[in-house]
Amino acid sequence: MKAINTLCLALGLVFAGSASAADFKFGYIKIERIYSESAPAQAAQKKLEREFAPREAELKRLGAKAKDLQAQLAKKPDDGTRRTIEREMGSLEREYQAKLRDFRDDLNQRRNEEFAAVQERANRLVRQIAEKEQYDLVLQDAVYVNPKFDITPRVLKEMEK
């Protein structure tokens, strides 16, 4: 709510300070499109997939091993074998959960690092476009903006270079 009030105050000051409201130039960027459609974002995603593929394969291997153990239990083995399989399943479950937690943490950290570079580049390009085309205000992450104010396609085009 505080951000909205600040934005309204800033817009009011801009309009009050302008010779006329017609001189005010507004733009909007959809950062989600930048993250999904830009070449640098797609390259970062592929890099992450390659980097984490071995760990993902290990998680799948552990999952397959757990299914095999469950299949063995379904065959109703004798009590000694059942206890051995159940201990192995418990150990496997703990290992799987620990590796999954580490995988997710590492993936999130690396994704944040990779996409921070994408966002930094996008912000730099937005500033360049805003200065070159004399925008007074460029926003991102709004609930609704008329498509005529959307400069995302121009930013995407610049990111392709």
Confirm whether 146 is domain-assigned. yes
- pLDDT value at residue 43: 94
- The whole domain housing 53 covers 19-159
Task: Classify residue 3: in a domain, yes or no.
Answer: no
Closest CA to 125 of 161, 160, 158: 158
Give the E-state strand segments of the chain in sequence order. 26-29, 137-140
CA 64 vs CA 61, 107, 158: distances in Å = 5, 22, 45
- The tally of domains found in the chain comes to 1
pLDDT tens per residue across all 161 residues of the chain: 554 544 444 555 555 554 455 688 999 999 899 999 999 999 999 999 999 999 999 999 999 999 999 998 888 888 888 899 889 999 999 999 999 999 999 999 999 999 999 999 999 999 999 999 999 999 988 888 889 999 999 999 999 88
What pLDDT, on the 0 to 100 scale, is given for residue 141? 80
Q: What is the pLDDT of residue 5?
A: 44
Residue 76 lies in a domain: yes
State the Cα–Cα distance between residues 38 and 44, nearest whole angstrom. 10
Q: Looking at residue 18, what is its pLDDT?
A: 47
pTM listed for this prediction = 0.71
Quote the pLDDT of residue 8.
46
The answer to the question of residue 13 being in a domain is no
CATH at residue 120: 3.30.910.20
Instruction: Specify the pLDDT at position 19.
Output: 46
